[in-house]
Structure 1
Amino acid sequence: MTSVYSYFVDTKVKGKPDVYSVVSNAAFAIMSLGLSTFSPFGFEVDLLYFFCGVLMVQLMKIKLWLIIVGGCFSYSLNILHSTLDTDQRSYDLLNITIDPRSQSQSQVSTAGVSPPDSPRVHVPVPSQADPIPLCSPLQRGNSRRVLAKRDFMSHIEELEKENEKVINTILKLVGGYLKANVVNEDQIAVPEIQADDNLVKDMLPSDLIDKLRYNGKLMFQNECRSLYSSCRKLFLKECLSKLGLEVEELNVEDFDKMEKIGSLIKALNITVRILFPNERILCDHVFLESYNADISFAEVCTELSVSLLRFVNTLATENHQWSYHLVHVIPNVFKTLIDLIPMFDSLFYGQLFSESLRNGAILVGKRLGVFVELESLIHREVAKETVPNGGIHPTTHRVMDYLREVFTNAEIFPIRRGISSFSDQVARIIKVLDTNLEAKSKSYTNPALGHVFMINNLMFLQFGEDYIYGEILGQGWYKSKINQHIELYQRSSWEKILELLKISRRELLAESMEKKVKLFNQQFNEICKAHSEWLIFDDELRGVVVKSVENTLLPTYGTFIGIIHDVVGKDAYKFNWYGIQNIQDRLSHLFSVKIAEG
């Protein structure tokens, strides 16, 4: 369908092929080649020739010399098809045995039927035809693969017999760590895991690894990898089972079982620090080609990695009692996973078949624990209800309470900018909260009050734990955003009044000026009355906002009064305007509402 679409677009719209249609036909040619190796029908080869032909025509329309590229590509696919077809026929003949007695028996037997007591499957050979040589390259290659598979399987059995000895050695290596209580905050120290990437390889007989490598090279690689990977996956399961760290599905009821959380932490550490690096080394020695080693390593590790990460992800995403798990459980698991991310990087980075495991670990780490809880809390607070006086939103209070409880111990959870991944996560939470607060500020019918609301909440976030959270994003981040909202507040509330104080030549009349004074007095009184009931909780910040209004309003107002004196003269006192001192007194009462003591 894609090719048909490309064809009509090319002919009707563009007039000639484009890169999309060329790549499309090349892809369909490769697909047809792959399909021909699995399907018995035979039409796939015709499709291969068809798409190769269309590809060459399209290339020739673009540039004549590109037909050379198309010819080379098509020739390569045909050669590859011939090779795969030969290998498939060879594989189909693996179980056929040619009995040297079949020729003589065919000459004796008139019906060409094998004797009843013959234990073999005979392939009759006509008397006038030359018999197939017993040492032909085809038969010899097939026989070698059969023997190699048989030997490889016997070596796999030897490898499995070595498991108990290897597991006992690993048990001795991590024995102290297994006995430690890794989730107890009161415990002073937990024994470190002594990693040894060559432990498994050194424990196995060297000739066994050589035999596996030699016989594996003589087999079909897919079959070889499958047999090897199945064996090693069973070893990993058996090892964790013997260590008492079986990975099970985590239920919500298990969150309170510290032994399960402890087992998860230990299983993560031992698997990623010891088992996986050893399997990586072993794969590299059994499969000399990096491609086959990477695929095999991915097949060995995927199932266990997915189980462990699913366990952690469940802990991160299920709803549970935050007050306990936020402080004791989740930070332990989070710290373990974050510490292991570099190991996931080194083991799986850049490998096509296993990099998804690395990405999965990073993703679960981002979701884990307190940060998921905080984001969930922020997004649950929909932007419908507003704080009446522009004060601090309950969500802001609760987020800061969460962070304060989690990060009480600054030694365990260093949250200075750039020191730890915890700092990055806290910064992300604060930015998510900022976005959510912006949405809430839009719900105020008076835009000016929405900006006061943002000023208060940003200042409260900056104050958190003696500016400790201000250090994460930097004081400049908060200062610029607060100043931005102060400016927006002035524009949305005092802009119209400033417009009243501007006088054109046509308004240089007593009546016009008297009308402007009355309008100014009315609007000024309304703003001062409304804004005096609003809140700015920090006295220093309140003084900054009031001072900014004074600096904007008073010079313009003073100029306006001077013009009235010049035009009206001694009758100017009849206009009943405010004096400069009166204006300052009224502005000093802005945002005078205080937070009620709870």
Structure 2
Amino acid sequence: MTSLTIQMARWLKKEAVWRYVGFVSTILGLLCYGLSSSFNSLFGEWSLLKIFLYSVFSLFICLWSLFPKVWQYSTSLRLKAHLAFLVLTITSVYSYFADKVVNRKPDAYSLISSAAFAIVSLSLSRQTECGFEVDFLYFFLGCLIVQLLKIKLALVIVGVGFSYALIILRSSLYTTPYQNLGVQDEHSVVIDVNSLRTDNASIMPQLMTCIRALPQGNSNVTNMLSKLVKEYLEDNSKPVVIDSNFVIDALPWGKINDLRKTIKLVIGVGFAQECYEVYCNWRRESLKECLINLLGLPEINVEKSRLLAFEDYILRRRIKAIQVALRTLIPSERRLCDSVFEGFSSLADLCFTDICRGTLMS
């Protein structure tokens, strides 16, 4: 039973499955809406012109649901903001005319179309990140509940139950941001399966072995960073040179390459979540260790009598040391994430954010 649940969870995370579900739901929703009483009340009886326009509109929507990524030219914040505004306007105008014109009880076609379009919205949210898919999902679920209320008050249980199921399904797929990882990799990843064992029982131990082989590199990072900080503290006017390869240069390149190949294999067989947690824990602990060691640097020669208080001097010195360290480590950590998660930029972004946030808050 557990194996079946795991297989189903992995199946639901596949993009091709949601593309097929979205396409079928789109066709079903468009057909039912065209035959529904809601369409007839809003647009009147069918005519040749209406059939032609609705067919063109339906073709566009079907192609969009079948190839959603083709239409996603940009994911900039400005585009997402305009799309969100457009969705808000369209849904508000439609709700206004629907409430004003549609007075009779909805028929089965109206209910089916609302449910189908809600599934289409869920499908799009699994494939694109335009920002409006979830808004459409909530809108169609709200329409379904209102339509059921118009038929009979007790039917609200059906609408709420269906809505709850879809929202929980989406939540389970998005409980953590790394669960949508392997779907959105930008490049095809070719893994040399002959160089790594591929049985599931050994995958995570392989990852842990690669990470345990890097503590010596972490001590190199600390030593190099300590030297850089001491130079800055002794010469306060010296600018801090930010080297994005600082951490990578301190770590053995061969070990990083082994880690990259192991991570690709782990993600490829569906252990993205475990990989995310292990890597983030490792890097957070490494950064904490570097910062803690920095606070124990030998004191530089300064006449303490010129300071108002020795404690203030130590505090200011430690703050400067941490500032220099963070200005060096954060860009380096960004470069390391991009390197080891090559081909999985979304995962690299999430790991970098989690590592830096966890380090700064601790």
Which has the higher Rg, Structure 1 or Structure 2?
A: 1
TM-score, structure 1 as length reference: 0.27
State TM-score, norm by structure 2.
0.42
Higher RCO by CA contacts (8 Å cutoff, separation 6 or greater): 2
Question: Where is the helix percentage greater, Structure 1 or Structure 2?
Answer: 2
